Chains A and B, each alone.
Chain A
Amino acid sequence: MEHLSLVDWSRAQFALTALYHWLFVPLTLGLTFIVAIMETIYVKTGDEWWKKTTKFWMGLLAINFAIGLATGIIMEFEFGTNWSNYSWIVGDIFGAPLAIEGIMAFFMESTFFAVMFFGWDKVSKKFHLLSTWLVAIGSNLSALWILVANGWMQHPVGMKFNPDTARNEMVNFWDVLFNPNAVSKFLHTISSGYVLASLFVISVSSWYLLKKREKEFAKRSMLVAASFGLLVSLFNLTTGDDSARNVAFNQPVKLAAMEGLYEGKKGADIVAFGILNPKKDIDNNESEFLVKFTIPYGLSLLTYHKKDAYIPGLKELVYGDKEHNIISAKEKIQKGKIALAALKEYKKAKKSGNEAKAKEALEKFEKNSKYLGYGYLKSEKEVIPPVAPTFYAFHTMVGLGTWFIILFALTLYYVMQDKIEQKRWFLRLSVLSLPLGYIAQESGWIVAEVGRQPWAIQDMLPVGMATSQIDTSAVMLTFWLFAALFTALLIAEVKIMTTQIKIGPKEA
C-alpha cells in the first residue's frame, strides 16, 4: 500500500474523467427516448408541429452527443497505464462486456444515428422512426455492458481467480450479466438519465415561457417531458430501493456509511436529513449526528421489509458481532494474509516442480481466497469508506430525486390545466432545477464509488494494489491535461447549446 501519492493521483484522475464523462452521457440516454416519443406522436398524428419539435430536441441531442463522444475512451487508456495490475486481474471479466459494448455502439449507434440526422425526407417516415428508436435502445444497451462491468467490481460473481495466470476467468457469463448488483445498477442509472433529460426539456421550455416565446412548442414539449419524467422518476425510486437493498446484502459497510450508522440496531431509523458529527469515530461515544431528522424503523423496513430487522453499523462490521454472525475485519485480514502466503507458496512450489506442495498450497489458498484483498490491509479500520462524502452524496441524491418527482407532477398538472404560463415562480424553479439534476447524477456515482472504498474489486483487490508502478508526475501532468480538455469541452457544450436554444425551434 506504499506509493500513496501515486494512488491518490491515479484515483483523482479516474474520478475526474468519470465525473466529466457522466456530465454528457445521461442526457444522451434520456433525450434519445424523448425525441423517439415525440417523433412517434408526429408519425401517428401527421402534425408537422411535432416534426418541428422533434427536430429541435434532436439538434440539442446532437450537440450533447458530439461533445460527449469518446470522453469515456480515456478511462480505457487509464486502465492500461495507471491501473495495469487491475486490468490484468479483471481482464477476462471486462473483455467480453466491453467488446460487446464496442460492437453494439459502433453498428447500432453510428448507422442509425446517420439515418436519424440525415434521413428526414430521404427515407420513409416509419423507417426514420424505427432508426430513432434503435438509436435510443442502442445507446441504452451500450450503457448496459459498462454497468455490468461496474456491477461486477462491486459484487464479483460468475468468475474464478486463476492462481497460475493471476487473472479472473469467467465461469458463467449469465451470472455476470444477471448479477443482481449489475441489473439494479443498470436500471437505476439509465432511469436517472431519463429523469435528467426530462428536467432538461422542462427547464429549456420553462425558459421560453419566461421569455414569452415559443409558447405552444414549450407547452407541448413540457407535456411529453413531464409525463415521461414522472413515470421514469417513480421507476427510478423503485430501482434505487432495489439498488440499496443489494448494497445492504453485498456491501453492508457502504450502507452503514450511506446512513451514517456507526452502531448496529434492530428497528433502525432512516435519516431523512442530518449533519454528521465530525468528531465521531467507531471507538468513541460521541453522538453520530449534530442534527438529524429520522423516519422511525425506516432503514429496517426498507432493507429487510421488517420493522425490527437488525442493521449492522460500522462498529460491528469492523470489530465483528457474534450474535449476528458478523466476522470481524481483523479475522478477514488474517484469512487474507493466509491466502496471500498460500499463493506465494503455490507459485514457488510450481516453479520448483513440487506438485504435492503446490496442491496443498492451492487448497489453502482456495479456502481463504474469499478474503484475499483483506490481506493487503494494515488496519481493520481501513475497511471503512470516507463516511461524510458517502452520507452527504447519498442524501443529496435522494433529496433531489424526491424534488424531481414533485416537479414533474406539478408541471404535468399546470400544463394540463393550461396554467403553466401564469406560474412564473414555478417556471423559474424549473430552470434552476436543471443543475440540480446534474448534481444528483454525480452524487449517485460518488455514493457508488467512494462508498466502496478501499476496494477496486470488492474484497478482492484494494485500490492501492490495483495501480501500476509508474511515475507520479506523469499522472499529475495528464490529470491537469484532462482537466483543461474536459473544461474546454464543457464550455463548448454550454456555449453551442445556449446559442441553439436562443435561436429556438424555428431554425431546427
Chain B
Amino acid sequence: MKENILTKILNFYIDGFKSMKLGKKLWAIVAIKLFVLLVIIKLLFFPNILKEKFNSDKERSEYILNQLTKGE
C-alpha cells in the first residue's frame, strides 16, 4: 500500500516532467543556476569567515568583542 502511494507520487513527477514543453528549458536554467551559485560561487568565493577562522563559539565571541571594542 505504502509502495503504491510512493510509486504514484514518483509517476506524478515523472509524467509531469515528461509532458513539459517550456518547463524543460526552465529546469535547465534552474539546474545551471543552482550549480553556479551553490558550487562555484559559494565554494570559491564565499567562505563563512567566522566558521573557517575559529573552532568554537567562544573564540568567535572573543573575536567579535575585540572588533567591537578595538577603538576604545
Within 8 A of B (CB), among A457-505: 465, 468-470, 474, 477-478, 481, 485, 489, 492, 496, 500
Query: Which residue in A73, A122, A163, A340 is a CB contact (below 8 Å) of B37?
Result: A73
**List of B residues within 8 angstroms of A250 by Cβ:** none
- In Å, the complex CA distance between A337 and B37 comes to 41
**List of B residues within 8 angstroms of A62 by Cβ:** 22-23, 26
Query: Which residue in B16, B25, B64, B65 is a CB contact (below 8 Å) of A117?
Result: B16
Query: Which residue in A78, A87, A118, A119 is a CB contact (below 8 Å) of B46?
Result: A78
A114 adjacent to chain B (CB < 8 Å): yes
- In Å, the complex CA distance between A81 and B29 comes to 26
Within 8 A of A (CB), among B8-46: 12-13, 15-17, 19, 22-23, 25-27, 29-30, 33-34, 36-38, 41-42, 45-46
| B37 close to A347 (CB less than 8 A) | no
| B12 close to A376 (CB less than 8 A) | no
CB distance from A463 to the nearest CB of B (A): 14
| A66 close to B26 (CB less than 8 A) | yes
> Of the 9-residue stretches A143-151, A164-172, A226-234, A419-427, which lies at the interface with chain B?
A164-172
B70 to chain A: closest residue by CB: A344
CB distance from A495 to the nearest CB of B (A): 11
**List of B residues within 8 angstroms of A469 by Cβ:** 67
- In Å, the complex CA distance between A63 and B36 comes to 19
| B47 close to A492 (CB less than 8 A) | no
CB distance from A496 to the nearest CB of B (A): 7
A-B contacts, CB under 8 A, total = 111
| B22 close to A496 (CB less than 8 A) | yes
Query: Which residue in A118, A337, A376, A485 is a CB contact (below 8 Å) of B36?
Result: A485
B: interface residue count bin:
35 or more
CB within 8 Å for A481 and B48 given contacts A66-B26, A66-B27: no
- In Å, the complex CA distance between A87 and B38 comes to 20
CB within 8 Å for A81 and B47 given contacts A62-B23, A70-B33: yes
| A118 close to B15 (CB less than 8 A) | yes
| A80 close to B61 (CB less than 8 A) | no
B5 adjacent to chain A (CB < 8 Å): no
A415 adjacent to chain B (CB < 8 Å): no
B55 adjacent to chain A (CB < 8 Å): no
**List of B residues within 8 angstroms of A347 by Cβ:** 65, 69
- In Å, the complex CA distance between A52 and B37 comes to 35
Which residues of A are at the interface with B, using a C-beta cutoff of 8 A?
59, 62-63, 66-67, 69-70, 73-74, 77-78, 80-81, 84-85, 87-89, 114, 117-119, 122, 163-167, 337, 340-341, 343-344, 347, 375-376, 465, 468-470, 474, 477-478, 481, 485, 489, 492, 496, 500
For the complex of A and B, the 7 pairs showing the least CB-CB separation, nearest first, are A118-B16, A77-B46, A66-B26, A344-B69, A80-B48, A166-B64, A84-B49
6 A-B pairs within 8 Å (CB atoms) are namely A77-B42, A77-B45, A119-B16, A347-B69, A376-B71, A474-B45
A478-B41, A496-B26 given. 10 additional CB < 8 A pairs? A59-B22, A62-B26, A63-B26, A66-B26, A77-B45, A85-B67, A88-B50, A88-B60, A117-B16, A340-B68
